[in-house]
Amino acid sequence: MIRVKIVLAGFGNVGKGFLQVLQEKKQFCRSRYNLDIEVHSIFRRGSALLSPRPLNIKEILEKYSSSFSFEENHLWKPGLELKDALDSIEPGVLVACTPSSIRDGEPGLSYIHCALDKGWHVVTADKGPLVVDFRCLKKKAERNHLALKFSGATAAALPTMDVALYSLAGAGISQVEGILNGTTNYILTRMKEGIDYGQSLEEARSMGIAEPDPSFDVEGWDTASKILIIANAALNTDFTLNDVKVEGITRIPPRLLSRAREKGKALKLLGRIYKKEGEFKLEVALTIVDGSRPLFGVDGTNKGITFFTDTMGAVTVTGGKSDPRGAGASLLKDIINIYREF
Amino acid sequence: MIRVKIVLAGFGNVGKGFLQVLQEKKQFCRSRYNLDIEVHSIFRRGSALLSPRPLNIKEILEKYSSSFSFEENHLWKPGLELKDALDSIEPGVLVACTPSSIRDGEPGLSYIHCALDKGWHVVTADKGPLVVDFRCLKKKAERNHLALKFSGATAAALPTMDVALYSLAGAGISQVEGILNGTTNYILTRMKEGIDYGQSLEEARSMGIAEPDPSFDVEGWDTASKILIIANAALNTDFTLNDVKVEGITRIPPRLLSRAREKGKALKLLGRIYKKEGEFKLEVALTIVDGSRPLFGVDGTNKGITFFTDTMGAVTVTGGKSDPRGAGASLLKDIINIYREF
């Protein structure tokens, strides 16, 4: 049995989703993968739990299922620093679920650098650090023979990175197109059905799909962040967010919308990687997709991605639960895959 | 640079497809994966090439592009045995591309056992050995800390096993359905368009999609073999081919065919794993699929598979080239993934 020690940074929906899935799958991880996964520390804003013995996840989840129970327990120590937690435990995996800025990558970027410096593997659902500094983080991980995995940051339960890096290993990827954001895809699906933008967005909000401030999604930046990370990781490029031509769904030209409403057509916000004059280009663009394309039927909050390759043809993957549970499961998946023999 | 020595068993279309892709990707494997992949021995029916120095693949492919050039070269030694080749080279990967029987798994089964006994990893496109003896082969590989990979035997460039074992690691798979055979899917696609069975089969034959004896495909046994392997590998079951309820496409009931021809419907031969009274069941069955299901649009020689899970929802993967090049690329992919660090 391999013992895997976890430090979790971020105790929001995704962090809790991860703990929930981990709790549920604890025995399965032991019996199927020979892994005993133990959480020793959890960081949230301003305070942290840290213990030489594995934390009781079940108890923690019960106590903190509501965000209103924030300050009730004196076990959460204020002022603790992540680096000290990492120093006090035998290295395992840092699970990063803080929501970091896509401008400077913080606070996650410092956490991840620190973990990699101290011999910890990293599994992250946090896009910011990867958007800002992927190349450098990847190099550091490789140099230290550590894993840096980020399924959770690149459409989570939809296995974008697994397909790109593992299933298509050895193939040359020439083009990628993906529906990578559930909120915008939901709104576009409703708009095809005749509902206007404002009402579709309201629906998405009331269903808890859209953030209170939806601009990161609807202006295309979430999709841009994901397609950027996918490009830099799968194609060994070194693009920045400035290199992505980004379009959102807030100002759809009426002509495009009426074409989208034709039978056998759909309007999708695609994150795309393509070649122009031999160079890779990145864009997020409203695109009319017809019934012959595999992403045509990817509706509602569903996501999907197509990789076009030289030796394996086009491979498309769709689906994967778009919620904290799906995101949590994708973090657990990455942990399991770090320790698999083959 | 890691040097990987290859012994190839099987010099038919898939074996040659593998060598072709390997030749093309030699430099890419060095620069991207730090792997120097060298073929030291090739076995075909009745004779073999074996060399302490890497074989010149380019030359071999040029000489043997046609199957008529079988006996022209005295370098092919008759009577050589695989075990002797494996003994004479530092262990690497046996690539198994012989077409073995699904009744006794031979000749591939003996080859694979021998390789695993002698410390060689195995990558196989050969279904027979896996159909007959998966559990035992898998145990032997694990006991000897060797890889046993078989993307090439389970829909090749369509990454069925990668998704099941890697992308869904930690998730509980409750149901699987797949279009796993290109020939039958091509015929069913044409039949939906109004062409009758005989003519559709003839077309498939003339396009080189169908085998001269197509019964293995059209009677459902190819699909049955694949779904059996997927079940035993992904769900840790121990089914045999006798446990699969198998239906083919040769006697489609007229009522089913007319429903299949309705708009928004399609007739598919699905390999399925499902639960009945808490137990997994396997079947290959003609199924009407409607437009809401992700496999609906998988037409012609395309393939696809959906995994239904507890934590990650439903994940579907479609596409992947159905030809010797795609199969060869899937063998190379498996080799690369054996040696990856994470």
Considering only CB atoms, B329 lies closest to which of A170, A326, A341, namely A170
Considering A25, A127, A149, A226, which one is annotated as catalytic? A226
Instruction: ipTM value, please give it.
Output: 0.97
Task: Assess whether B174 and B27 both reside in one domain.
Answer: no
Quote the pLDDT of residue A121.
98
- A107 and A174 share one domain: no
Q: Is A226 a catalytic residue?
A: yes
Residues A131 and A172 placed together within one structural domain of the fold: no
Answer whether A170 sits within 8 Å of B332, measured CB to CB. yes
Residues B34 and B180 in one domain: no
On whether both B249 and B233 belong to a single domain, the answer is: yes
What pLDDT, on the 0 to 100 scale, is given for residue B111?
98
Judging contacts by C-beta atoms under 8 Å, the chain A residues touching residue B169 are 33, 332-333, 336-337, 340
Within this chain, do residues A59 and A141 fall inside the same structural domain, yes or no?
yes
Task: Output the CA–CA distances (angstroms, integers) from residue B130 to A298, A303, B228, B232, B285, in the order listed.
Answer: 34, 34, 9, 9, 22
| Contact: A159, B163; criterion CB under 8 Å | yes
Query: For residues A85 and A55, is the Cβ–Cβ distance under 8 A?
Result: no
Nearest residue of A to residue B20 by CA position? Answer: A311
Nearest CA distance, B273 vs chain A (angstrom): 19
Please state, in angstroms and rounded to a whole number, the distance separating the CA atoms of residues A319 and A323.
12
Nearest to A325 among B291, B311, B326 (CB): B311
Residues of chain A found within 8 Å of residue B32, distances taken between Cβ atoms: 236
Same domain, B175 and B151: no
Find the closest chain B residue to A291 by CA distance. B297
Q: Which residue has the tokens 């919308």?
A: A257
pLDDT of residue B64: 80
Same domain, B333 and B242: no
Q: Half-sphere exposure (CA, 13 Å, Cβ side) for A240? A: 8
Domain region containing A147: 2-157+324-339
Cβ pair B25:A163 closer than 8 A: no
Closest Cα of chain A to B61: distance in Å? 17
What's the confidence (pLDDT) of residue A251? 94
Distance CA A234, CA A225 (A): 14
- Specify which residues A6 forms β-bridges with: A39, A93
Name the residue facing A319 among B33, B169, B314 (closest C-beta).
B314
Q: What count of CB pairs under 8 Å joins A to B?
A: 175
B174 and B44 in one domain? Answer: no
Q: pLDDT tens digits for B32-59?
A: 999 999 999 999 988 999 999 999 999 9
The CATH number covering residue A58 comes to: 3.40.50.720
Q: What is the CATH number of the domain that holds B302?
A: 3.30.360.10
Which residues does chain B have within 8 Å of residue A21's beta carbon, measured at their own beta carbons?
170, 311
Question: C-alpha distances in angstroms, B314 versus A27, A221, B78, B167, B191?
Answer: 23, 26, 51, 12, 29
What are the phi and psi torsion angles at A298 (to 5°)?
-85, 95
Give strand pairing partners of A2. A35
pLDDT class for B72, splitting at 50, 70, 90?
low
Cβ–Cβ gap B170/A21 under 8 Å? yes
Output the tens digit of pLDDT for each of chain A's 342 residues: 999 999 999 999 999 999 999 999 999 999 999 999 999 999 998 899 999 999 999 999 988 766 555 555 668 899 999 999 999 999 999 999 999 999 999 999 999 999 999 999 999 999 999 999 999 999 999 999 999 999 999 999 999 999 999 999 999 999 999 999 999 999 999 999 999 999 999 999 999 888 888 999 999 999 999 999 999 999 999 999 999 999 999 999 999 999 999 999 999 999 999 999 999 999 999 999 998 899 999 999 999 999 999 999 999 999 999 999 999 999 999 999 999 999
Same structural domain for residues A143 and A201? no
Q: What is the pLDDT of residue B212?
A: 84
Question: B294 and A32 in contact by Cβ < 8 A?
Answer: no
**Does residue B183 sit in the same domain as residue B254?**
yes
Strands B279-290, B265-276: pairing is antiparallel
Q: Which member of A313, A322, A333 has the closest CB to residue B169?
A: A333
Q: Spell out the residues 6+ positions from residue A105 whose beta carbon is closer than 8 angstroms to its own.
A: A128, A129, A130, A131, A132, A133
CB–CB of B315 and A159 under 8 A?
Answer: yes
Half-sphere exposure of A310 (CA within 13 A, CB side): 11
Task: In whole angstroms, give the CA distance from residue A307 to residue A319.
Answer: 15
Query: Number of folded domains in chain A?
Result: 2
Q: Does this model's pTM top 0.90?
A: yes
Nearest to A273 by CA among A302, A303, A245, A242: A245
Contact across the interface for B296 and A297, Cβ inside 8 Å: yes
Q: Is B36 exposed, middle or buried (0-12, 13-18, 19+ CB in 10 A)?
A: middle
A111 and A180 both lie in a single domain: no
